[in-house]
Chains A and B, each alone.
Chain A
């Protein structure tokens, strides 16, 4: 969005060894994976260590947004994706948004587009 001056809050996707991965952290105590670099675990408050997740995951749920949202062109597809051994992330679905991605679909992370959405496509 053009009218926002704050730091971008979305998870950061980086390419490592040819695969797109979410750069986040993992709890040193309970193992909770987090899609962000946070100082403490949101579940148990223990310390975290840097970790990255992806590139593959499974769609937990999905929808197509068909109403106007500032800075976006509707319709667009969104999915909650449970990354393998990783956190649940909200991802933009690449391509035409005719219908929601089927729940249970296997997807892979894509290299971040300019807009910096976490983006996925069906494997």
Chain B
């Protein structure tokens, strides 16, 4: 059965310690239900990372969603799109008719400051905070001459400028490359403006069978993989090969020859280097040209391959479990022509890529890639 996204919704993104997860989730679900013109679903998949035990049922009961199957999944930063992938499969196979995928996270109350490295992981215990993991890839790119500091900064400049047109984003601004490089060093060579902020938020999508409907965005293909060993034999930096391989699966499922066939993409730019590696791994740009693409406007709004028109994780914020579905909502709006001042002209095909990490020795906990088509 062909599957479509019938409606999407999100909360605002940002530090919102005074709001609870019920309020954040309700913002997303209320909007998604109204968008899909439905009042009930047959099952729910929820993605969250640091949500406490029972958080899914606790928020759903407050909006009258009870007595149906509710499943919570955790796949690090890809939890929201993992929930989406499972919801998609449930509809595709006919297991359920209409399914809600919900992502939620409140990081401002879960941590005092940034996310703590996981102490049960060898590298987490050794102090490898997430910025440091990406910094290792960035340092490698700089060492090999695959990217320059200015190219890294250009990703931040571009995505913060995109977010000027997204009133749900946590941050936006017209920065210069010099300002990005002069911001406080977090983990060399990544500066503050090259790192996504700590964020709270929720995002949701209602999935159902594809029908002739002017607002239904068709799911052309979904793929999910967990990482293979990443070690001294790996030819690429962390997180490259899993994106490349998952993209091949998703493009095959969608019947596309290459990622360059899509008109717009939301990708996992938790750190500037992430967007550079990902655009290369997806094949949106040639190997080694991710940084150049950011500098030359190839991946900017108006460029040949617009990436992160929403402002990306760098600007929208990164409430882990919510992020994947926030990316998905952006692509749905883009494909329906509803993205306002950040609209990509005549966008017919869109791609969402989410990458979750943190387990050492693996090339990612999970990567989820979805290809969507306009009504």
Contacts and interface: CB of A to CB of B under 8 A. Distances in A.
Contacts of B143: 61, 103-104
Contact of B121 (A9, A64, A69, A87): A9
Contacts of B121: 9
B122 A88 contact: no
Interface stretch (B58-66, B127-135, B153-161, B243-251): B127-135
A90 B360 contact: yes
Contacts of B187: 63-67
B232 interface: yes
A4 interface: yes
Interface string A40-67: 0011000000000000000011111111
B127 A66 contact: no
Nearest to A70: B116
B225 to A, nearest CB: 16
A72 B127 contact: yes
B139 A100 contact: yes
Nearest to B191: A66
Contacts of B184: 66
Contact of A6 (B120, B135, B136, B186): B120
Nearest to B362: A42
Contacts of A9: 119-122, 125
B131 A80 contact: no
Contacts of A61: 136-137, 139-140, 143
A36 B121 CA distance: 12
Interface in B337-366: 360-361
Contacts of A36: 122
A46 B133 CA distance: 29
Contacts of A78: 126-128, 132, 136
A4 B120 CA distance: 8
A10 B122 contact: yes
A69 B127 CA distance: 7
Interface residues of B, number: 34
Interface residues of A, number: 41
Nearest to A58: B232
Contacts of A76: 127
A65 B123 CA distance: 13
Most A CB contacts (10 A, CB to CB) among B137, B139, B143, B361 go to B139
A99 B188 contact: yes
A12 B186 CA distance: 29
Contacts of B186: 66-67
Most B CB contacts (10 A, CB to CB) among A43, A62, A63, A99 go to A63
Contacts of B114: 67-68
Given A60-B232, A63-B188, A64-B188, A69 B117 contact: yes
Contacts of A33: 232
Nearest to A5: B119
Given A32-B229, A32-B231, A103-B143, 4 more contacts: A9-B120, A43-B229, A65-B187, A69-B117
Q: Give the top 4 A-B pairs by smallest Cβ distance, nearest first.
A: A63-B135, A88-B232, A61-B136, A103-B143
